A and B are shown apart, each in its own frame.
Chain A
Amino acid sequence: MTERMLRYGGQVVLYGLFAVFVGYFSTSPAYQHLEPDQALLRLSFRHAGQIAGECRTRSAEELAKLPPQLRAERDCPRERSPVHVRVELDGELLYDERFAPAGLRRDGAASAYRRLPIPAGEHHLRVQLNDDVKVDGFNHSGERRLTLEPGQVVLIDFIADKGGVIIR
C-alpha cells in the first residue's frame, strides 16, 4: 500500500514537472526583440533602376528588317542600374548600401529589406537614393523630422510613381 502511494506520489511529481516544463517554455523566458528605449527603422523597397547603358534609335532600314511585333524605335541594353541608398540620422551616416538588380542579366528590380534599430526620441532623418549609374550622387531624396516613441516603426519606402522616397 505504502509502495503504491509512493508510486502515485512519484507520478504526480513527475507529470507535474513535465507540465511546469511545458508551461514555462511556452512563453518564457521572454525574448528581448528590441531594447526598451529603441524605435525601429525599416527600409524596404522593390524598384527597377534605370537602364544602365545608352539607348539608341533604330533606323528605318533596321526596323523594316525586324518582325512587326518587335519594331520598337528605341534599342536599349537590358541591364539596369543598381539602387544605391544612403540613410542619415541627425546628420550622421546610419546606413549605406548598393542593391543589385535581380536576374542573371541584371535586368530585374532591386529589392531591399533592412531593419535598423535607433534610439527613440527626436530625430532628423534623411534618405538619399540613386537608381541611375549615369547620374553622379543621388537623384532622389526625402527627409523628415521625427519624434519616435519606443517601439515605434518608421518605414522607408521608394515608389517612383508616388514621388520617390517615402518616409512614414
Chain B
Amino acid sequence: MAAAPGPPAESPETLDEVLLPLNPVEAGLPGSGPIARAFRRIERGADRVFGEHDNPLRQLGGLGFYLFWLIALTGIYLYVFYETSVDGAHASVERLTHEQWWAGGVMRSLHRYASDAFVAVIGLHLLRELAYGRFRGFRWYSWVSGVPTLWLAIASGVVGYWLVWDSVAQFVAIATAEWFGVLPGFGPELVRNFIEPEAVSDRLFSLLIFLHIGLPLALLLVMWAHLQRLTRPRSNASRAVAAWTLASLTAVSFVAPALSGLPADLQRVAAVVPIDWFYLAPLPAIYAMSPEFVWIMSVGVTLLLAALPLFSRQPRPAAVRVDPAHCNGCTRCFADCPYAAIAMAPHPGGRGQIAVVDEDRCAACGICSGACPSAMPFRSGERLASGIDLPWLTVGDLRDRLDAAIAAGAPSGGAPIVVFACQRGAGLGSEAPAGVIGLGMPCAGFLPPSFVDYSLRSGALGVVVAACPGDDCEFRFGERWTAERLSGAREPRLRASADARRLLMLHAAREDRAGLIAGIDEFRAKLEQLERANARETADD
C-alpha cells in the first residue's frame, strides 16, 4: 500500500507518492473501514431518495439544532400553562393535554417526540463521525466538545419527565435517586425525598423547572462551543428536512399523542412503566444489573469517547505555512478556511496584514493554498513560491510535477488529459489510464484555478478536476469553493481567456472510480471531436 498523503515531501520518491491520485482506501486514510463503507452506502442510497442537499443523514448536526429549537418553542408554550406544585403539576398537564388537545396537546406531543428525535439524531451523528474517523487530529476539539452534549441532553429530558408527576415521573424520580444514591456525597438518604407523600413539596417543582430550563441552556452553550472551530457551521436543517421532520413528528403527535399516567402515588408502585427508552434506558439497567454497574458503564463510555482522539495512531500531516515574503494579506485564505484556522494579523514588514495559522486547527487540506493569489504557475522564477503552502506539497511541487509530466508526454503519445484528483474521492489509482496524467491532492480545493489555464497552455488536451460530490467533501467546502473559483464566482477566479470547453469538473465519490474513468473517456471523446473541428477550420482557412 502506498503511503498516506501528508508526510513532508523532502525526497522526490515521497513527493511522487504524495501526488499519486489514490482514493482513501488505497491511501489507508481513516474512515475507510467496513462500518464507514456501510454508512457511506446507506448515505448514497438515501441521496437517491432525498437528494444530496436534503439528505438528513448528511446534516445530522444541523438537524439536531433544528430539533433543539423546536423543543424550546414547544416547551415555552407548555411552561405558560404549567403549575409548579405537587397538586398542580399533574392536573395542569392533564388540562393542557385534554382541554386544548388541538394546541397544548399537540405541543406536548411535539415536545416529547422532538426530544426523542433529538437523542436519536445526536446519537446517529456521533456514530457517523466515529465511523468516519472524524475524532482525530485537528477535529479533536469538535469531538471532545460534543461528548458533554450527550449527558446534558439526557439530563434535560429526564428532568422533563419528573415535571409531569405521574406514575412514570414517580418511577423516574425514585430510580434516579436510587442511581445517584450510590455516589459518595449523595448517599442512600437521597431517595427519602420521594418515598412518602409528605416528603415532596411544591419547592421540588420549582427546582425541577429551574433545572429543565437551566440544563438545556447549558446544552445550548456547549452546542455553541461545539461549533467554534468551524467556519460557516451548519446550525440548522435544510428547508426540506425541517419541513419533513416537522410533518412526521406532527403526524405521530396526532396518531399517538403523549399522555400522562395516573398521578404519582408514593404509597404505590406501578408494576409496568411505559418508559421513554431514548432518555430512560439506564434506569431499568440499575435494577437489572446494579446502580454501580450503570455508573461504571456510563462514566466509562463517556471517558472512552472523550479520550478517543488520544488513541489515534494516524500521523497528523504538517500544517500549512505562511511565507511573509509572498503573503499580501488579501484574506482569501482566511475567508476560505473551513476550520477557522487562519487569522489575520499586522504584517511584520509593516505593509498591511498577514495570514497567521493556528496549527492545532489546521486540517492540512490545502484549500488556503488554492485560494492564494500568489499560487500562480505563470510566475517566472525557478521555484514557484506561494503566500501559504503545505510544507509537504507546495504549489511549486505541483507545477514542477505537472511540467515534468507534460514534457514527458502521455504514455500513449499525443496531448494528455491532466486530471487533478481529490485523494478523498474516487482517484485513479497508482496507474493512470492511457493518455491521462493523474495528479492527486489532499482536496480539490488545493488546486489554484490558474493551474487549469497553465496546463492547457503547456500542451494538455484538457483538464479534469475530480472532486468528491459536494456534501461528501471531507473538508466541508473544498468542492464548493473549487466549483465557484472555476466558474468565476469566487476569488481566485479562472481566467476568462481559459478555454472552458477543455475543462471538466467531475464529481466521483470514493467508491465510484468507474464513473470517474467513464467521465474522463467521455470528455476525451468530446475533446477529440473539438480537435477535429478545429483542424477542419484551420484547413479551411
Contact = CB atoms under 8 A, between A and B. Distances in A.
A25 B276 CA distance: 6
Contacts of B271: 32-36, 38, 150-151
Contacts of A152: 267-268
B49 A14 contact: yes
Contacts of B251: 16, 19
Given A15-B244, A23-B113, A28-B274, A151 B269 contact: yes
Interface stretch (B190-198, B327-335, B364-372, B404-412): B190-198
A30 interface: yes
A30 B275 CA distance: 6
A151 B245 CA distance: 40
Interface stretch (B145-153, B181-189, B349-357, B502-510): B181-189
Contacts of A15: 244-245, 247-248
B274 A27 contact: yes
| Chain B residues touching A, majority SS | helix
Interface stretch (A39-47, A59-67, A122-130, A135-143): A39-47
Interface string B282-307: 01100100000000000000000000
Contacts of B80: none
B256 A23 contact: yes
B276 A34 contact: no
Contacts of A18: 117, 248
A15 B237 CA distance: 15
Nearest to A113: B188
A11 B191 CA distance: 47
B268 A151 contact: yes
Contact of A19 (B178, B252, B258): B252
B191 A113 contact: yes
A22 B267 contact: no
A111 B113 contact: no
A154 B311 CA distance: 51
Interface residues of B, number: 46
Contacts of A113: 178, 181, 188-189, 191-192
A102 to B, nearest CB: 7
Contact of A44 (B120, B188, B270, B272): B188
A32 B245 CA distance: 32
Contacts of A33: 171, 269-273, 284, 287
Contacts of B46: 14
A80 B248 CA distance: 61
Contacts of A44: 188-189, 191-192, 195
A18 B192 CA distance: 40
Contacts of A21: 120
Contacts of B195: 42, 44, 153, 155
A76 interface: no
Contact of A26 (B48, B112, B267, B272): B112
Nearest to B245: A15
24 contacts: A7-B49, A7-B50, A7-B51, A11-B50, A14-B46, A14-B49, A14-B50, A15-B245, A19-B249, A22-B249, A26-B116, A27-B275, A31-B273, A32-B271, A32-B272, A42-B195, A44-B188, A46-B192, A102-B187, A113-B181, A113-B189, A151-B270, A153-B266, A153-B269
A-B CB proximity, top 3 nearest: A113-B188, A10-B49, A19-B248
Interface of A: 7, 10-11, 14-16, 18-23, 25-28, 30-36, 38, 40, 42, 44, 46, 102, 111-113, 115, 150-153, 155, 168
Interface of B: 46, 48-51, 112-113, 116-117, 120, 171, 178, 181, 187-189, 191-192, 195-196, 244-245, 247-249, 251-252, 255-256, 258, 266-278, 283-284, 287
